[in-house]
Amino acid sequence: MALAGTQYGPVRGTDADVLSFKGIPYAAPPVGPNRFQPPRPPEPWTSPRDSRGYGATAPQTRIEGVMGQLIPRTIIPGDDYLNLNVWTPGLTGRAPVMVFIHGGSFTSGSGALSVYDGTRFARDGVVLVTINYRLGADGFLWFGDGTPNLGLLDQIAALTWVRDNIDGFGGDPGNVTIFGESAGAMSVCTLLAMPAAEGLFHRAIAQSGAGHNTISPESARLVGTRLAAALGTAPTREAIADVPVPQLLAAQDMLSQQVSAKPRAKRWGDVARTLLPFSPVVDGDLLPGAPLDRIRAGAAADVDLLIGTNSEEARLFLVPTGVAARMNTPLLYAAAALRFGLPVSGVRRYRANRPGATAGDVLAAVMTDSYYRIPAIRLAEAHRGTYMYEFGWRSPACDGTLGACHALELAFVFNNLDDPSTAPMLGPAPPQHLADLVHRTWLNFATTGTPDWPPYTPEQPTTRHFNTPSTTTTNTNPGPTPH
């Protein structure tokens, strides 16, 4: 066993190939009087706290069927879920620190998923931290009064804990890289724009998410009002706090399904564009402006940034669900493409560029570009010196139909291809040499701030393509781009 100290009390972890400490509270449980309040410090303790197993995770529902196998969820009951996990090569020294922010559409996920195990990062000389934060209504519900963006404030509280405590785990608080995937990447790009996060990290990596997924206060009120109506309560946080958690989670899921089925701006405001009813709000104070605008104006100009996407992100949402197969006429996919801001001429070009592709294939390409690739490019254009990547290895799972889909790169980043939970998505014998390359690239960026390819500029749009083999290209004609 290993013993480390924090400002709140000692923790007892596991001493195996590396040292690990799990379930360390960085804030008080967000329940009772702390519900819908900014994160508050945890109560100190004196005896060593057992940190050999993961702590509680934020409330969320399980997902069944094929999607539940492809995107597993770890749910651990308990109120004390504002906690984090640390893997370190040793308690002395000043190693680079990487803090991972999980995805899950801001309504699911945790830092306790086995694919996020940080052993390989610690083995290779990095202190790796994963965190939990408030999700759904608890993290992002806002009617215009009280404190907004509580889930983001949790992330900032975790980063503050890292700044104040990580040296006791052998980490360098002056060399912190935040990285995240999907909603975690959207969080990363939003933190770049938040004054309260300034100075808490020095590098950032955004995987399959950028700065386009925030909503206005008006849209947040629309979501809150519809959530209250679904629950039969008054449209206030206080009333919603009285709703039993299972009932609240069911209503959240219902709202998400309604948005996906009919994303109409008149009904949902900005959420018709983001498809995320619970997400960061541009409140004018904690988040003074849209992240892309703030970054373009110079916010986080001193933060090194690596951003990228997977080549076929949307196939995860269209193929296992059967949507791609049902999209069997040009009229259907054209209507869907228009919903994502692509003009009719652009739809024709997507179709013409993919001879033999099905309507579902074309829709997947449009969704991937509009929701993931183009926002990443816009952020790279706004933040000078950004490095871009694209992950293109195609999974053989689901009879080869998943392709280079959303979340596929995670096991490669963490170099955890042998984790059994990844098998349904990766299929048999994923390429270890590619995992070694991707993992080493993330390590090198966290250590030096520069990978082994040039930064992206509009004049020289250089992108590193991770595949078998991997290449670096400068593409001056990216084709039709949704708005």
Contacts of 30 (CB under 8 A, 6+ apart): 37, 39, 79, 81, 82, 134, 138, 150, 154
Q: What angle do CA 462, 362, 372 make, to 5 degrees?
A: 45
Could you tell me which of 351, 355, 377 has the C-alpha nearest to residue 365? 351
Catalytic residue among 105, 212, 279, 313: 313
d(CA 137, CA 116): 25
What are the CA-CA distances from residue 339 to residues 213, 256, 314, 348 (Å)?
16, 17, 15, 15
DSSP 345-389: HHHHHHHHTSTT--HHHHHHHHHHIIIIIHHHHHHHHHSTT-EEE
Q: Which residue has the tokens 């990447």?
A: 185
DSSP class of residue 391 equals E
Could you tell me which of 371, 370, 350 has the C-alpha nearest to residue 361? 350
Helix (H, G, I), strand (E, B) or coil at 131: strand
Joined together, the tokens standing for residue 238 give 């206080």
**Cβ contact 51:88 at 8 Å:** no
Catalytic residue among 102, 202, 212, 406: 406
**Alpha-helical runs (H) found in 262-320:** 265-268, 271-274, 291-296, 315-318
Query: What count of Cα atoms within 13 Å lies in the side-chain half-sphere of residue 396?
Result: 5
Q: Is 47 a catalytic residue?
A: no
Catalytic residue among 182, 219, 256, 370: 182
Q: Is 313 a catalytic residue?
A: yes
What CA dihedral angle connects 67, 155, 150 and 33, to 10 degrees? 110
d(CA 31, CA 241): 9
d(CA 176, CA 116): 18
User: Residue 434: what residue type?
Assistant: L
Q: Is 260 a catalytic residue?
A: no
Active-site residue numbers? 182, 313, 406
